[in-house]
Amino acid sequence: MAVGKESLLEVHPVSGIRLASVQAGIRYADRYDLVLVELAEGSISAGVFTRNAFCAAPVIVARQNLAVMAPRYLLINTGNANAGTGKQGMTDALGCCAQLADLQKIDAQAVLPFSTGVIGESLPVDKLIAALPEAVAALAPDQWLAAARGIMTTDTRPKLASKKVQLGETTVTITGMAKGAGMLKPNMATMLAYVFTDAQFAKPALQQALSTAVELSFNRLTVDGDTSTNDACILVATGQSGVEPETDVACLKAFQHALNDLMIELATGLIRDAEGATKFVTIAVQGGESVAECLQVAYCVAESPLVKTALFASDPNWGRILAAVGRAGLENLDLDAITISLGDVPLVADGGRDPRYSEAAGQSEMDREEITITINLGRGDHAETVWTSDLSHEYVRINAEYRS
């Protein structure tokens, strides 16, 4: 179940990147569950990771390795999160890196491991290691769709985005993939996301570009308010185009704009494919005193079970939205200054129901697959947008049966 039709986009390969997706049998038979990405020598990488205190062993290892060495390989498994696994989990993550490093004759710290799946179960290291030679042999520059499918768990379709941007006289490519459908309130990134470009960057500038894009995209969505133990987002610059955006203000601005757009496309793709989703919902908060208070209100509405179930039922029960705004915790609210609308339909004004509202108009908006709720706080100039989904019977079923 997903909102909107799956688009078959043209994927632009990134020079210096090879990918492979194989079946390791980590949790299920006959399922592609191990993805390997090879980064050309000289590539620079940046990353952001989960802020969950119980972060997974591969997150710890990836963060440590990224700090000391330019990565050559990304090793990604699904079916098992290797989280909540204590010292053994660290041993397993390090062991997988060491096995790939031995196979490819590189330093083990040049491998970044990533895992996603069930928390609290030991990683079947033997199965993963046994599949490594096949993954290495399968590496190719055109396996983007296979890799995007290989990192899926409860996703129903792959998420890929690809852009070309003109920087001076040269065209630069940016292509990325992401996965995530539940346990999704990133607080930094998403479940897993990998973006690649052939532009050339120094690491500090690449990290800044990534952090800026993440804040506008993956840090603006929520499915259920749960921040995963395994969140990671990596940006790799192979440098093979020879273009250095950071040396020219206009080029850097154009690159950042394209990167922001691509990551927003990936992030909203996750919401469209959220577990059990039947609605794609935009919560736009305007007129705030600060970015923080706009997000505070937006997330309070987006994560309200009562709002989310009303959205699933296509019920224009606007009182639930009003109540969520009121309990968001903002001080000194002028209730008469707040307006709320559903699409183009005014819901709330002057502290109560807008006299222009009609149930028929509200129902017409709620019947849509894509819904926008706009809240104007009437107390400042800041505005923020958060994307979310509804809460359906299917969401409950998927998560009730997740380990079965």
Q: Which residues belong to the active site? A: 190
H/E element, 166: strand 159-167
Retrieve residue 364's tokens. Answer: 């017409």
Helix residue ranges, H only, 105-202: 125-138, 144-150
- Count CB atoms within 10 A of the CB of residue 30: 7
Give one DSSP letter per residue of 275-304, joined into a string: TT---EEEEEEEEESSHHHHHHHHHHHHT-
Instruction: Report the 3 state secondary structure along 31-65.
Output: CCCEEEEEECCCCEEEEEECCCCCCCHHHHHHHHH
Q: Are 139 and 19 in contact (CB under 8 A)?
A: yes
**What is the Rg, in whole angstroms, of the alpha carbon atoms belonging to the chain?**
22
| Alpha-carbon distance values, 357 to 281, 319, 352 (Å) | 20, 13, 11
At 353 the three-state DSSP class reads strand
Q: How far apart are CA 109 and CA 173, in angstroms?
A: 27
Q: Which long-range contacts (CB under 8 A, 24 or more apart) does 86-92 make?
A: 88/122, 89/56, 89/57, 89/122, 89/123, 90/57, 90/60, 90/61, 92/57, 92/122, 92/123, 92/125
Instruction: Give the neighbor-by-neighbor strand order of the sheet with 232-237.
Output: 44-49, 232-237, 192-197, 170-179, 159-167
- Count CB atoms within 10 A of the CB of residue 353: 15
Q: How far apart are CA 85 and CA 94, in angstroms?
A: 13
The residues facing 171 across adjacent strands are: 166
Q: How far apart are CA 122 and CA 83, in angstroms?
A: 8
